[in-house]
């Protein structure tokens, strides 16, 4: 049997590519980042990571999950910082999950109750992505929204992981040491693919608001550039 890390990498390639081609992600990568849709994405992530990290803590002594117990990956506290920045001190009453985020949370909570081993797939999909492409997204967000001094991008900062590349190697090695048979390994890969789909639904849900916001910005820009009609000509 191939190492689990290799199975996950190969098995999720197509799903990863599909997620990258969702309109919201493509706009993001091109630098079209709009504040309201971005903060909603972070709000969604907050509820998802809260559910995931609660589940991982609940099962930290699980015979399989214990081998992947890395609380230095947790994003909940970082997301709280970002939401405080984008929504203000009353962020807890303003930030709400969208329907896709609620569904994502329900699935994680269901796995925690019925099949916690499959939480491995969700941890792999989110955390490895955050340590990899997430760093590119941080730079784009900073440029697009004029963010400085780490404000609004705490989500992408891993203070307890000084070397992301080395940590990812350690994480993959830990995956490969897990005592799972071929059937369980395939179930984890299948769940990772499903996790990518859940993330795609998050992005697709935000596409409409992003497009509307960009359209409004373009409209406002055109209005500002439009030459004002003189009082005399207006009265003729």
- State the pLDDT confidence band at 222, using cuts at 50, 70 and 90: very low
pLDDT of residue 225: 52
User: What would the pLDDT profile of 113-140 be if each residue is shown by its tens digit?
Assistant: 999 999 999 999 999 999 988 888 899 9
**Average pLDDT for 11-35:** 89
Q: What is the 3-state secondary structure (H, E, C) of the chain?
A: CCCHHHHHHHHCHHHHHHHHCCHHHHHHHCCCCCHHHHHHHHHHHHHHHHHHHHHHHHCCCCCCHHHHCCHHHCCHHHHHHHHHHHHCCCHHHHCCCCHHHHHHHHHHHHHHHHCHHHHHHHHHHHHHHHHCHHHHHHHHHHHHHCCCCCCCCHHHCCCCCCCHHHHHHHHHHHHHHCCCCHHHHHHHHHHHHHHHHHHHHHHHHHHHHHHHHHHHHHHHHHHHHCCCCCHHHHHC
**Average pLDDT for 185-189:** 98
| CATH architecture of the domain with range 13-21+42-133+154-205 | Up-down Bundle (1.20)
pLDDT at residue 230 tops 80: no
Higher pLDDT, 66 or 133: 66
Domain boundaries, the chain: 13-21+42-133+154-205
């Amino acid at each position: 049997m191939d190492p689990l890390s290799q199975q996950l990498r190969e098995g999720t390639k197509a799903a990863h590519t599909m997620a990258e081609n969702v309109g919201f992600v493509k706009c993001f990568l091109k630098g079209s980042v709009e504040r309201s849709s971005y903060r909603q994405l972070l709000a969604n992530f907050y509820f998802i990571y809260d559910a995931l990290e609660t589940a991982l803590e609940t099962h930290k002594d699980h015979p399989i999950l214990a081998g992947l117990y890395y609380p230095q990956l947790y994003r909940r506290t970082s997301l709280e910082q970002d939401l405080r920045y984008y929504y203000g001190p009353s962020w807890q009453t303003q930030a709400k999950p969208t329907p896709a985020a609620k569904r994502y949370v329900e699935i994680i909570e269901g796995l925690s109750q019925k099949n916690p081993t499959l939480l491995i797939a969700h941890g792999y999909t989110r955390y490895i992505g955050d340590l990899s492409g997430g760093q590119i997204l941080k730079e784009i967000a900073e440029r697009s929204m004029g963010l400085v001094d780490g404000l609004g991008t705490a989500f992408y900062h891993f203070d307890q992981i000084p070397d992301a590349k080395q940590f990812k190697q350690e994480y993959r090695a830990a995956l490969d040491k897990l005592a799972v048979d071929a059937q369980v390994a395939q179930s984890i890969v299948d769940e990772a693919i499903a996790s990518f789909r859940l993330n795609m639904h998050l992005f697709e849900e935000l596409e409409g608001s992003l497009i509307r916001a960009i359209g409004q910005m373009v409209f406002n820009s055109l209005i500002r550039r439009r030459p004002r009609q003189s009082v005399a000509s207006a009265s003729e």
